Amino acid sequence: MRNSAVRFLCMASFFAAIALGCKDNKPETKETIAQEVDTIAKPDTIETVIVDTIPDNARDSLISAAPVPVTVDELFDDFLFLFTANKKLQYERVEFPLLVRDGDSESFIQMKDWKMEKFFSQQEFYTLILDDESQMELSKNTSIDSVVIETINLKAKSVKQHVFNKRNGKWMLTAINKNTMYQNQNKSFLSFYEQFASDSIFQIQSLNDPVNATIPDPEDDYAMMEGEFHPDQWDEFKPYILPDDTIYNVLYGQKYNISKKKIFVIRGLSNGLEIDMTFKQINGKWKLVKIVE
């Protein structure tokens, strides 16, 4: 989602349209609503107004009251935005009773027992695990009809998969699979990453010498600098976000192989953040060989 900023502005307009549509039905008792409408022509301030000044309950009510865009099912990312924000839509898009597979056992969740699923929408980023750079473009493919969101608890060594499929052109949550981290296709890398994210000494030991780096040019907002650094410079290049508890992985249909290369992506939600770290197995050990910010 390198176009997340553009997509966010579209959603910002969506919020604004909701607010304007509600003016005739409710008195304008919130100054923030007026501020939000007033900043439609100021893209640099939209994010602050929408996210920070409209209370969560008011925002959720506005979203739920608005008609669902007809294009919501084209890109999964757009559908997921509304799925995690619109309670009414979420209940409509879960295939109840929902099948839950836990090892060899199966059970079902009834509608009355369902709890609103937010995934990573309540934090400022999410993560992806890829085999190669070409898989970064899969999220833009409108022909995808199956997506899996993995919630990976590194400390508990567990993986919960939410399986989404298209049913008659509409995205539906069709099943939940629960497994251990060691049953996952990325088990070798996940086992490595768990220690890498939480152990500063192990991080330095897991750096190739040198590590290739592409970072923003501090003197030019639109330029990047390419170079390399050595393990003793890690503190200068270490990402300020390196999740060590729960991470997410979205499978847009990518097929994992027994690969000696993994790209770990930390991608922001409408904040421009993107950190791509490339790891390779060298002499049987995972090493960070490249970082792009």
- Mean pLDDT, the chain, rounded, equals 83
- Banded pLDDT at 55 (limits 50, 70, 90): low
Lowest mean pLDDT among 83-92, 122-131, 225-234: 122-131
How is residue 69 annotated by DSSP? P
**What per-residue confidence (pLDDT) applies to 21?**
46
Q: Are 215 and 293 in contact (CB under 8 A)?
A: yes
Q: Are 216 and 224 in contact (CB under 8 A)?
A: yes
- Mean pLDDT calculated for residue range 27-48: 38
- DSSP-based three-state secondary structure for 96: strand
**What per-residue confidence (pLDDT) applies to 217?**
82
Name residues whose C-beta falls within 8 Å of residue 230's C-beta, 6 or more positions apart in sequence: 209, 210, 211
Q: Are 196 and 179 in contact (CB under 8 A)?
A: no
How is residue 52 annotated by DSSP? I
- DSSP-based three-state secondary structure for 64: helix
Neighbours of 178 (CB within 10 A): 15
Name residues whose C-beta falls within 8 Å of residue 198's C-beta, 6 or more positions apart in sequence: 154, 244
- Mean pLDDT calculated for residue range 87-105: 96
* Residue 1 vs residue 219, higher pLDDT: 219
pTM: 0.77
- Mean pLDDT calculated for residue range 75-92: 94
